[in-house]
Amino acid sequence: MKISAVILAGGQGRRLGREDKGLVLLHGHPLIARVLDRITPQVDEILISANRNIETYAGLGYPVLADGIGNFAGPLAGLHRTMTEATHPLVLAVPCDTPFLPDHLAARLLTSLRDEDADIAIPFAGGRTHQAVCLCRRTILMDLDQYLRQGGRRVDEWQCRHQRIEVLFDNPDAFANINTPEELALAEQRLGN
């Protein structure tokens, strides 16, 4: 089954000095470029969800879509917009600030989604779920639309409305995201070793 991926780069970057996180450099490369390096070989289509610096993101060679809901409505708004434009029946959502994603992420999530006949597959590592990373069936788009129209914004709350499966991954560091200057420094250290 073919998969479209959305790189979620539409946030405000509040904890990172309001910088556009996808464009923050990690070891000389924008965070989004590192995520693209990890995800592109795993999927059939790439879309980028961004609400600023759209021309810069477009320079990466992939379609860039702004949220259909204004005021930085969160990752679900980006997922919603890209699910409406995706050409494949499954959408893999990943944040732009997760540069260490597993090489087998899409395949593992897809296997569990199929085996359990679930609507959403979410990684579980390090004792917790990583809900911003998920593989969704596009058939749940109408429910996402309704949830957002009712003012819902919480990823976990929306995901719990559906048949979901948590997929165990061994390496919790694979899902580490970069929200602060300290986390960026740790990621630099990790790449330097």
Q: How close are the terminal C-alpha atoms of the chain, in Å?
A: 37
Residue 11: the pLDDT is: 61
The whole-angstrom separation of Cα 24 and Cα 8 is 14
Residue 67: the pLDDT is: 78
At 17, is the pLDDT very low, low, confident or very high (cuts 50, 70, 90)? low
Domain range holding 25? 3-192
Q: For residue 159, is pLDDT > 60?
A: yes
Looking up tokens 């709350």 gives 157
The whole-angstrom separation of Cα 139 and Cα 141 is 6
Q: Identify the CATH number of the domain in which residue 98 sits.
A: 3.90.550.10
CA 13 to chain centre: 15
CA 178 to chain centre: 13
pTM summary value: 0.92
CA 58 to chain centre: 17
At 71, is the pLDDT very low, low, confident or very high (cuts 50, 70, 90)? low
Residue 77: the pLDDT is: 87
Residues 6+ away with beta carbon under 8 Å from 152: 76, 158
Backbone angles phi and psi of 186, in degrees to 5: -65, -40
- Express each pLDDT in 102-126 by its tens digit: 999 999 999 999 999 999 999 999 9
Pairing mode, if any, of strands 29-30 and 45-50? Answer: unpaired
Q: How many domains does the chain have?
A: 1
